[in-house]
Amino acid sequence: MALVVVCFLVILVIFANVSKISVSEPNLYTYIPEELVNILEDGCFLGVNDRASREIVEIFLSLLQAFANERHVTIGRVNLENFQWPGGEHLKIDGIDCKSREFTEHSACIGPIPNVVFFAKTSIDRSCLLSPSYTKLRPRAAVISGRDLNLETLVEYVNGKCQTFRTVDGGLLPAGRQKQYIVDNVFNVSNVSNVTMEMLYDRGGVLDLAFTQGFLSDRSSHRTCQKEGCMVNERAREEEGGGGYLEILQCKIINSDDIGPEEFFHEYIKQSRPVIIKNAVVNWPAWHKWSQEYLWEKYGNKTVHVKLTPGGDFEGVERAELWEDYEQFVIPDTVMKKLPYPDLVVVRPAGLNVKFSDFLNLITKAAQQSIRNVSAYLEYSSIREYMPELLSDIEEFAFVKDKLTLRHLNMWLSDGNTVGRLHFDPFDNFLCQLRGKKQLLLFEPFNNSRLYEGHIPQATLHYNHSDQSFRRKTLEDSTSMVMSPIDLFKPDLKRFPNFKSARPLTCTIDEGDALFMPAFWWHEVYSYPNVVEKRNLAVNFWYEPFLLKEFPCPECKMDVNPYYFHLLY
């Protein structure tokens, strides 16, 4: 999934019609451009020109107090007379015609010297390793009129631009108190479970998660049991009589009839807390209508894009050297330096455009085991785009409809023997199970150094239709930003030791149920077929997330998405 971070560079300049007397005021620190570059990587800056009048400096002393407790807002002085960014670039001000308004021969684009400047936080494009370093992008400026130059309007201005909720005396507005409360009270697995991955690996517990569900067992001959983990698991089973069996923390389960929109918002969305909603979809028309025959009739001739892998394993991480073009493939040095695990690749499944009826045949044959080595998956297939008539058969949940904004609505269909490897999605998710079930292993998104978040190069499998074989053929010049390099079945704990302290949560979505999975929770997904229909069918709603985080950035914190500030009251 390619994600774009939009640039957000704003500078505000405030001109005031006052005489320029130099005032020295010890409490207001004068920042030099080099320091501003660092400050702006972490937050915004409101600065008063060194030569501004005493009245304006007085206002700034009050501003300093008002934002004293905001880590991401800096208030200070700045010398705009001779302002030059490191590297020599001059200060540019929005709305000033560079050609006609020159004030010194060296500073071509600054115009009249302003009294007050505002710099927004530098937006970092974390998505593209080839893009120029963000420190080279210098912020520009804009202007507000002199009559707005008082404490109240400046506090309001900074609040609007820096996503803060301060009052003139440094207190928090009610919305700010609520935002703080939300951030301080996110659901925390450590508060309710002591079980770490290290403990589970010591006892084979992770593998039990899969094996107790019967998953992989019938395919194990060509997949799982070749891995060491399998033996660990068998040993653990033998020892089971000795007690000490560990329970992974289970997802909370609620009934859709028992919860109202406000309660759901407070208990789950705001707390970023995963929860299973029982019988959430049994009243959808789709529950009865979407049989294999019905879908065939309606969309049989439609071309769909499906994903194929040899063993039902979707998007794991493996050694790059296993790939055919490894020797020829060159990654530019500048990119290489930014890759935390340059020897690994995310394995993307092969893609194939087929008639929907052919896809249905393929999964039927796979279920009957007349095809053994090909697993086909209709993954995140947009219902709105490809099958809009089906929209009337499903419903958004009442408890989110008026709160969150829907971004994507997808269908997922397979023979029900698939794994989606450990990753996160930047959306609040309602995953709704129409046939078969899914079991997920989740990890909270609050300390991603444990999951080793980062850019990992991608590679795409090639599929040969005539002999149904796969080749590890193409290393791509793109990276994935949402996959963990950790193989749950065979973790390299020497290389990824922090994973030992991660605490898992497991959620099982039975047929007819839905899982609310907040954005950025890491998850590995095991799918199982409905025993009669031999398929797994799910629909998911991806919403603009309530809590947001920059990524890849293991140390970045989650915070309330500014898009939803209107929901803070």
Ligand X SMILES: *[C@@H]1O[C@H](CO)[C@@H](O)[C@H](O)[C@H]1NC(C)=O
| Range in contact with ligand X (rule: CB under 6 A) among 54-62, 96-104, 114-122, 443-451 | 443-451
The site map against ligand X for 371-390 (x = CB under 6 A) is: -xx-----------------
Place of tokens 């997330």: 545
Cα separation, 114 vs 140, in Å, equals 13
Cα separation, 427 vs 466, in Å, equals 38
CA dihedral (416, 422, 428, 431) in degrees, to 10, reads 10
Contact positions with ligand X (CB under 6 A) in 33-72: none
* One-letter-per-residue 3-state SS of 89-113: CECCCCCCCCCCCCCCCCCCCCCCC
501 touches ligand X (CB under 6 A): yes
351 touches ligand X (CB under 6 A): no
Residues in the interface with ligand X (CB under 6 A) total: 26
| Range in contact with ligand X (rule: CB under 6 A) among 22-30, 46-54, 192-200, 561-569 | 192-200
Cβ at position 192, least distance to ligand X in Å: 5
Cβ at position 245, least distance to ligand X in Å: 15
369 touches ligand X (CB under 6 A): no
Work out the angle at residue 292's Cα, subtended by the Cα atoms of residues 288 and 298, and round it to the nearest 5 degrees: 90
Of 269 and 538, which CB lies nearer to ligand X in the complex structure? Answer: 269
Contact positions with ligand X (CB under 6 A) in 239-298: 297
Judged by phi (left if over 0) then psi (alpha if -120 to 50, else beta), residue 64 lies in alpha
Cβ at position 95, least distance to ligand X in Å: 42
Cα separation, 506 vs 193, in Å, equals 12
Kindly give the pairing relationship between strand 73-78 and strand 252-255: unpaired
Q: Residues 82, 104, 145, 190: which binds ligand X (CB under 6 A)?
A: 190
Of 22 and 449, which CB lies nearer to ligand X in the complex structure? Answer: 449
Contact positions with ligand X (CB under 6 A) in 106-145: none
Of 222 and 305, which CB lies nearer to ligand X in the complex structure? Answer: 222
| Range in contact with ligand X (rule: CB under 6 A) among 100-108, 284-292, 398-406, 462-470 | 462-470
Q: Residues 140, 166, 179, 450: which binds ligand X (CB under 6 A)?
A: 450
Whether the CB-CB separation of 474 and 459 falls below 8 Å is answered with yes
447 touches ligand X (CB under 6 A): yes
Of 45 and 499, which CB lies nearer to ligand X in the complex structure? Answer: 499
Of 278 and 372, which CB lies nearer to ligand X in the complex structure? Answer: 372
Contact positions with ligand X (CB under 6 A) in 294-323: 297, 300-301
Place of tokens 């009610």: 174
Cβ at position 373, least distance to ligand X in Å: 4
Give me the phi and psi of 40, to 5 degrees please: -75, -15
Helix (H, G, I), strand (E, B), or coil: what is residue 85?
A: coil
Cβ at position 420, least distance to ligand X in Å: 21
Q: Residues 147, 467, 494, 562: which binds ligand X (CB under 6 A)?
A: 467
Judged by phi (left if over 0) then psi (alpha if -120 to 50, else beta), residue 65 lies in alpha
Cα separation, 42 vs 72, in Å, equals 6
470 touches ligand X (CB under 6 A): no
Which residues lie below 8 Å from residue 522, measured CB to CB, with a gap of 6+? 422, 423, 424, 442, 443, 444, 445, 451, 484
Place of tokens 């929770």: 521
Q: Residues 153, 498, 506, 530: which binds ligand X (CB under 6 A)?
A: 498
Contact positions with ligand X (CB under 6 A) in 201-240: 222
Query: CA neighbours within 13 Å on the CB side: how many for 531?
Result: 4
Cβ at position 496, least distance to ligand X in Å: 10
Q: What is the binding site for ligand X (CB under 6 A)?
A: 185-188, 190-194, 222, 297, 300-301, 372-373, 446-447, 449-450, 464, 466-469, 498, 501
